[in-house]
Amino acid sequence: MKSFLKTTLLLSTLTGLFLGVGYMVGGRSGAIIALLLATVMNFGMFWFSGSIVLKMQKAVPLDTQQYGYIEQMVQELARIDNLPMPKLYFVDTPIPNAFATGRSHRTAVVAVTRGITEILDNNELRSVLAHELGHVKNRDMLVSTIAATVGGAIAILAEMAFWGGAFFGGGDEEEGNNFIGSLAMMILAPFAALLIQMAVSRSREYLADQHGKHLVGNGNDLASALQKLEDFKPKVSKLKPTARQDASAHLMFMNMFSAQGLASLFATHPSTKSRIEKLTTKEQ
């Protein structure tokens, strides 16, 4: 419940930021134009995201002859969760991970990598699959699209403010002030929007963790899976993430290339330590 309320608050803050920037730039009409532009751009991503991500990850349909146990796990979990059976995909990489995508319950896709099938036991893998079904159940693709739409609109408005301040100022002194203010808005508004978007992403991971915990009946297996993947990170820490890995990091069960320090403000996932602590406490 806390994570749900946090997501609601973050989305409300993002919307408030958008309305504030829109009003400063061009009143209601300017805000509406920016929102429409961002909506069109993100609608395409939302509608075709499933197929795009699968191609980016070079995913193929899961071989149910070799990985029939995974199919059985998902079938059982989907039945308990009252969800349609998602399509199952496989990514042939040693990097352990899993992800879910799809614009609705009926178009959902759950994918696993070869690496995660090799290092997790069945109980741990089942808990990860339950986590991914949590993303499907909570319609996280829609939530992330809303956040991206509003964030994109803020970026468009900020750019409008910059060029408006640069070319349509008043007198010399006023024009200079407009330019500086517009430049500040162009930098700070999208920066703030990005921070909020990443916070939304982290809050949805907490929600999916809790969903997985309740679906399998305990949080210990998911916590164990998280720790195993965390321990695996040094093996990939020297690798530079590819463009496709960066672009789809927010969908993954864990970001294996996550940043530390101040860069964690832009992290798509909470810290592993924090996730484990929440999973292993009795009440959330």
Mean predicted confidence (pLDDT) in 212-240: 91
Q: Which residues pair with 252 in a beta bridge?
A: 99
Of the residues 118, 124, 132, 173, only one is catalytic, namely 132
Does 124 qualify as catalytic in the annotation?
no
Strands 98-101 and 60-61: unpaired
Cα 56 from Cα 40, distance rounded (Å): 22
At position 57, the amino acid (one-letter code) is Q
Q: Which CA distances in Å does 90 have to 87, 141, 226?
A: 10, 20, 20
Angle made by CA atoms 71, 77, 80, in degrees to the nearest 5: 140
Q: Which CA distances in Å does 50 have to 29, 39, 168, 269?
A: 33, 18, 43, 20
Mean predicted confidence (pLDDT) in 141-164: 67
Mean predicted confidence (pLDDT) in 93-119: 93
pLDDT at 239: 67
Which residue carries 């164990």 as its tokens? 224
At position 227, the amino acid (one-letter code) is Q
Q: What is the pLDDT of residues 169-197, one digit of tens each?
A: 444 444 444 555 555 666 666 676 777 77
Cα 127 from Cα 42, distance rounded (Å): 31
pLDDT at residue 138 tops 60: yes
Mean predicted confidence (pLDDT) in 13-42: 62
Per DSSP, the three-state class of 144 is helix
pLDDT at residue 19 tops 70: no
For residue 169, what is the DSSP state?
-
Per DSSP, the three-state class of 66 is coil
Alpha-helix residue ranges (DSSP H) falling in 59-171: 68-80, 114-119, 122-137, 140-167
Q: Which helix (H) or strand (E) holds 120?
A: none
Confidence grade of residue 251 (pLDDT, cut at 50, 70, 90): confident
pLDDT at 201: 83
Cα 19 from Cα 9, distance rounded (Å): 15
User: What is this structure's pTM?
Assistant: 0.75
Which residue carries 């980016």 as its tokens? 56
pLDDT at residue 135 tops 90: yes
SS (H, E, C) 244-279: HHHHCHHHECCCCCCCCHHHHHHCCCCCHHHHHHHH
Q: Which helix (H) or strand (E) holds 11?
A: helix 2-56
Structural contact between residues 280 and 210, judged by C-beta atoms closer than 8 angstroms: no
Cα 4 from Cα 235, distance rounded (Å): 34
Domain spans, the chain: 2-279
Mean predicted confidence (pLDDT) in 8-26: 59
Strands 87-91 and 109-113: parallel
